[in-house]
Amino acid sequence: MKKSETNRSGLTAGKLWILFVLSVAAAAWPFFTMRGLDAALMEPEPHYGIVDFELAYSVEKAGEIVGVWGEELLPLAKKSLIVDYPFMPAYALIFFSLTRLFALIPGGRMSIWAKMAALFPLAAAIFDAVENLGLLSVVASPDAIPAWAPVVAGISATIKFSLLLLAVLAWPVAVLARLIGGKRA
């Protein structure tokens, strides 16, 4: 690794590991809270979880999901969506720090691509916030679901998941670039 390359951004491996550990700690409470809420949401048949809700895409499917959940479980869905907000920056920084760590592996142009890919989780969190606004609108009026809400939520969720996938794909690409390219930077 070139010393000047690391110093330009100021993001050393040590700083990235600290960011990673702090982000994991920050993500723990919302993550486990949402897992518990999602387990409760998935109990009634046909077992719709929050990801199913995120990807409903239509008023009909969103209505079916909130209908299965009923008045008893809708407050849990709302709580899950609200708890997701503090989780967003935490998971974004987890993925950012890991992807930047992989970008520190010397690999020529692939290292540059990994640096760019590290920004994708930050954008994913923004799309996650937009998605949750749409889903909260559905939960707020389950009998008169706004037509825009499931569509915006579905598109935002798809973009979010795609951006996170692209960031994760940068990890093996950086390792392969290093293995194929040898010690060249």
Q: Has residue 42 got a pLDDT over 90?
A: yes
In this prediction, residue 107 carries a pLDDT of 65
- For 48-86, what is each residue's pLDDT tens digit? 999 999 999 999 999 999 999 999 999 999 999 999 999
pLDDT of residue 184: 47
Distance of alpha carbon 180 from alpha carbon 161, whole angstroms: 29
pLDDT, tens digit, 9 for 90 and up, residues 2-34:
444 444 668 899 999 999 999 999 999 999 999
pLDDT band for 114, please (50, 70, 90 cuts): confident
**Residue 183 above 90 pLDDT?**
no
Sign of torsion, CA 155 160 163 166? negative
CA distances from 184 to 68, 87, 105, 106, 170 (A): 57, 38, 10, 7, 18
- Tens digits of per-residue pLDDT, 115-157? 899 999 999 999 999 999 999 999 999 999 999 999 999 999 9
Average pLDDT rounded to a whole number, residues 94-99 = 96
